[in-house]
Amino acid sequence: MRKLALNDTILLKIDKPARYIGNEINSVMKDKNNVNVRFAMCFPDVYEIGMSHLGIQILYDMFNQREDVWCERVYSPWPDLDEVMRKEQIPLFALESQDPVKRFDFLGITIQYEMCYTNILQILDLSQIPLRAQERTESDPLVIGGGPCTYNPEPLAPFFDMFYIGEGETVYFALLDAYKENKKNGGSRKDFLKRAALIPGIYVPQFYHPVYAEDGTLQEFQVLESDVPATVQKQVVMDLSDTFYPENPVVPFIKATQDRVVLEVQRGCIRGCRFCQAGMIYRPTRERDIQFLKERASEMLKSTGHEEISLSSLSSSDYSKLPDLVNFLIEECGRMHVNISLPSLRIDAFSLEVMNKVQDIKKSSLTFAPEAGSQRLRDVINKGLTEEVIIDGAGKAFEGGWNKVKLYFMLGLPTETAEDQKAIAHLAENIARRYYEIPKDQRNGKCQINVSTSFFVPKPFTPFQWASMCTREDFLNRAKTVREEIHAQLNQKSIKYNWHEADVTLLEGVLARGDRRIADVVQKAYEDGALFDSWTESFHLAHWQKAFEQCRIDPEFYTIRERSETELFPWDFIDTGVTKAFLLKEWQTALEEKVTPNCRMVCAGCGAASFKGGVCIESKS
């Protein structure tokens, strides 16, 4: 039996010891003496969140298919264990072997949201790896980052040896081979990084140097090594039906956030909402073959024993073979007593019919994400959903027995006025009215409309990357306008309203569009005690305020400042395929309140066609 890194006394004292013992079904054990490369794959948040992430499951399976590589998992120790590990100087360990991460060749960290940045420093710190790449020695693991936040890696640049820009399935094996080769030749860490920087998609921040203008904006992004390319190309898998996808995903003992089989039906989104980063960086939209999906679904259900399967994609309704796939799952899952969960479905006749079959109507609710209250503002953000479609969809659902609706909006969008904010309340009211049009004896009690607003954060590589954010007061006033207008509605008792925190949003705004100077702030905040910032109960603004002051950095430079159309952005050295010229054109079209049709209707010439695949080469109907 394996020896655990933590002794019984510790494990019995902390919450949920199962987070730290490994040994889960389908976790991979190897003999460490028979592999050349040991890779620790980390999701810098608590186990239950990290275990729910599909990307790591894909890479874990892919890496472990290689006999010369052993890939293990690492998650953030919860504060109770964090305290013990610091006090007793226990180095952070990987779940499978329970060996210290610092003895590994690689530490890979997936960076899914900005508010996990201090958790990344916790991982390095507890692993006893120097926080800054420049301070690491030959014996330290190579720290590599991946995931959506690496599309602006600059606020984290000093902490990483490398970033992998794009989808992991493409060049990781080339990187591992280069590592083995370098090790065999007795090459140094620096030798390897130089080689790695030549692999498409690999960004080695220490070979680049930002120069700032007097006004604080980026003037130049210098390349310090001769052969190293000035732009880094995003990596994409062009054939999603002939690539890595786990047949045996790891099954946690404790209930994870996503305690089910996840079937990713496609990558990318044809819709082109102008605030959405995923919709831009994962272009072009590529579907998986339905046969591939059917086979994987059956295999994964059998190998995990999960009682639920969920479809995953940015907009499942746009998957061209959706009815076929869903009918297959209903039949297959019905036989196996497996539930089907269908998030991100457009509410229409088909989805209502499907939901009727797979969900308990009394318990489930309908979800709409109009994102903006008025049609004018929905045109600005290029969200195709109209009020007519929403009312019609809700009406059909109400007649079918549903009585709960969730509505998601953003506040603080470019060009937004008080009228747009009030329109959120009016839309909710109109949905409620539609419900009460149904004769009393035919409806299911009162209706419940839950309105949620989050505050808008402009993201790199979106048409809104030029937009300025609101101040804290401005954000909260907008929420107040919505709240008061909802209270003024006839059916206000059927409408519940909640809004997100403004402080976290503003910080997220700084980290999302920050430059390399922000790294000092992240480190200071961490050293002052910031950790698990994405958890409301552990987020403390004071750590960050102090850090900004100490670093003499004005957060408003990154949030509310107007950016000129010619400004050089810290992330401009990355080539996502979607051109800056297209994004700028979309920004201007947005300000003209005009929509851009989706990729299936007409090609808008974003630039992703250079990858020669997916929706870009489908015949247009």
- Report the interface residues with another protein, using CB under 8 A: 1-2, 4, 8-9, 11-13, 17-18, 21-25, 251, 253-255, 301-307, 336-337, 339, 360
Q: Which of 188, 199, 114 is nearest to 162 (CA)?
A: 199
Q: In degrees rounded to 5, what are phi and psi of residue 69?
A: -125, 140
Distance in angstroms (rounded) separating the CA atoms of residues 477 and 468:
17
CB of 100 to another protein, least distance (A): 18
Q: State residue 156 phi and psi, 5-degree precision.
A: -110, 0
* Smallest distance, another protein to C-beta of residue 69, A: 22
Among 526, 558, 557, smallest CA distance to 159 is for: 526
Note whether 252 and 48 are within 8 A (CB). yes
Going by C-beta distance under 8 Å and a sequence separation of 6 or more, which residues neighbour residue 200?
171, 232, 233, 235
The minimum distance between CB 94 and another protein, in angstroms, equals 15
- Residue 336 CB, shortest distance to another protein, in Å, is 7
Question: Among 182, 172, 123, 121, which Cα is nearest to 146's?
Answer: 172
Taking the complex as a whole, the smallest distance from the CB of residue 250 to another protein amounts, in Å, to 11
Q: Toward another protein, which CB reaches closer, 149 or 333?
A: 333
Q: In whole angstroms, how close is the CB of 244 to another protein at the nearest point?
A: 22
Residues in the chain: 621
Beta pairing partners, 38: 70
DSSP 490: T
DSSP 424-469: HHHHHHHHHHHHHTS-GGGS-SS-EEEEEEEE----TTSGGGGPPP
Minimum CB distance to another protein, residue 337 (Å): 6
Per DSSP, the three-state class of 194 is helix
Min separation Cβ 48 and another protein, Å: 12
Angle between helices 387-399 and 349-358 (to 10 degrees): 40
Q: What whole-number distance in Å separates Cα of residue 175 and Cα of residue 193?
A: 10
How near is the Cβ of 61 to another protein at its closest, in Å?
Answer: 17
Phi and psi angles of residue 451, each rounded to the nearest 5 degrees, phi first: -105, 125
Q: Which is nearer to another protein, 121 or 301 (CB)?
A: 301
Structure tokens, 217:
């904006």
Least separation in angstroms between CB 46 and another protein: 16
Query: What's the rounded Cα separation, in Å, for the pair 419 and 416?
Result: 8
Question: Which CB atom, from 25 or from 542, has the smaller least distance to another protein?
Answer: 25
Calpha distance 512→111 (Å, rounded)? 12
Q: From the DSSP assignment, how many helices (H) and strands (E) are in the chain?
A: 19, 19
